Amino acid sequence: MTAQIDDELWSAIADPSRRRVLDLLISNSEVSASWLAGRVPFSRQAVSKHLVVLERAGLITRSKQGREVLYQVQADRLDQATRAMAELAARWDRRLAAVKRLAEAAHADKHADKHADREDNNDRTQDRDT
């Protein structure tokens, strides 16, 4: 994916209201904006704006049936988006694992330093006592 397409995708799915609209479209095949507006807690105008963003991101398409405009999910694009999110999650998992390893190594080094300091103190105490 190109950076611009990627940005449009993340922007489109970042909004919880758009995700709600997208969920309804996934669950109900082809539906109108009016139908969607009857099932969400925001206005028909807001639904239309969300549909524009989802369409621009390639997640949905529209088709005309008579005088009615129906919207449906683009399964291929949604699958592509799912793969992109999985790849991003895997990258973050790798980064977090690396941070964890560094933190554990730093903790082990600190623990080893404290242990070495205690031994040095014990050696000095024994030398002084003898």
Question: Which tens digits make up the pLDDT trace of 88-107?
Answer: 899 999 999 999 999 999 88
Q: Which ranges constitute the DSSP H helices of the chain?
A: 3-14, 16-28, 33-37, 44-56, 75-129
Tell me the residue range of the domain where 99 lies.
75-130
Instruction: Say whether both 68 and 13 belong to one domain.
Output: yes
Instruction: Say whether both 67 and 19 belong to one domain.
Output: yes
Instruction: Say whether both 53 and 82 belong to one domain.
Output: no
**Distance separating alpha carbons of residues 87 and 114, to the nearest angstrom:** 41
* 122: pLDDT strictly greater than 90: no
pLDDT digits (tens, 9 = 90+) for 36-59: 999 999 999 999 999 999 999 999
Query: Residue 24 belongs to a domain with what CATH number?
Result: 1.10.10.10
Count of domains for the chain:
2
Instruction: Say whether both 79 and 124 belong to one domain.
Output: yes
Instruction: Say whether both 44 and 86 belong to one domain.
Output: no
The reply to whether the predicted model has a pTM over 0.85 is: no
Instruction: Say whether both 64 and 125 belong to one domain.
Output: no
Listed in sequence order, the residues at least 6 apart from 29 whose beta carbon sits closer than 8 Å to its beta carbon are 72
